[in-house]
């Protein structure tokens, strides 16, 4: 019986082209999220904000969700179920303008918006990256 020989990989590893954190960034230290301001006080404020602003503002921009704008959450959930839409519940309180460690901007509720995880991780990050590039 003949043994198969192992083929060498033909794929090369590309170097990283985008730094994860910019040098000097307020997030570049190894400080915990609590030390960066996201401690117990933030968690309480976040829960309160999500309770009063339960829907993702990016989802509500979609014309499919026009009917639930301004509805009480329980009514909106029932409406979505009736028409077969996913309920656009928010799970993240996002800072509209990045605070970069500025505590006044961090705690300014006018700078907060409710987002679902999908919009926070995709669309919002893409917008912030475009701002950093000056687009």
Domain ranges of the chain: 46-133
| Contact (Cβ atoms closer than 8 angstroms) between residue 91 and residue 57 | no
pLDDT digits (tens, 9 = 90+) for 7-46: 777 777 666 665 565 655 655 566 677 777 778 999 999 9
pLDDT digits (tens, 9 = 90+) for 70-90: 888 889 889 988 988 888 999
Q: If you average pLDDT over residues 126-133, what whole number do you get?
A: 87
Q: What is the pTM of this model?
A: 0.69
pLDDT digits (tens, 9 = 90+) for 78-121: 998 898 888 899 999 999 998 888 899 999 999 999 999 988 99
Distance, in Å, from the CA atom of 72 to the CA atom of 6, rounded to the nearest integer, reads 63
């Amino acid at each position: 019986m003949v043994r198969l020989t192992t083929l060498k990989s033909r794929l090369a590893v590309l170097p990283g082209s985008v730094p994860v954190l910019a040098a000097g960034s307020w997030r570049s230290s190894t400080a915990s999220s609590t030390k960066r301001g996201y401690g117990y006080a933030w968690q309480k404020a976040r829960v309160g904000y999500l309770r009063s602003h339960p829907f993702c503002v990016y989802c509500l921009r979609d014309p499919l969700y026009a009917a639930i704008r301004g509805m009480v959450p329980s009514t909106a959930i029932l409406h979505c179920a009736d028409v077969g839409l996913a309920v656009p519940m928010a799970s993240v309180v996002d800072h509209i303008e990045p605070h970069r460690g500025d505590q006044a901007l961090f705690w300014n509720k006018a700078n907060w918006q409710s987002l679902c995880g999908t919009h926070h991780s995709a669309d919002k990050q893409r917008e912030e990256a475009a701002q950093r590039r000056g687009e």
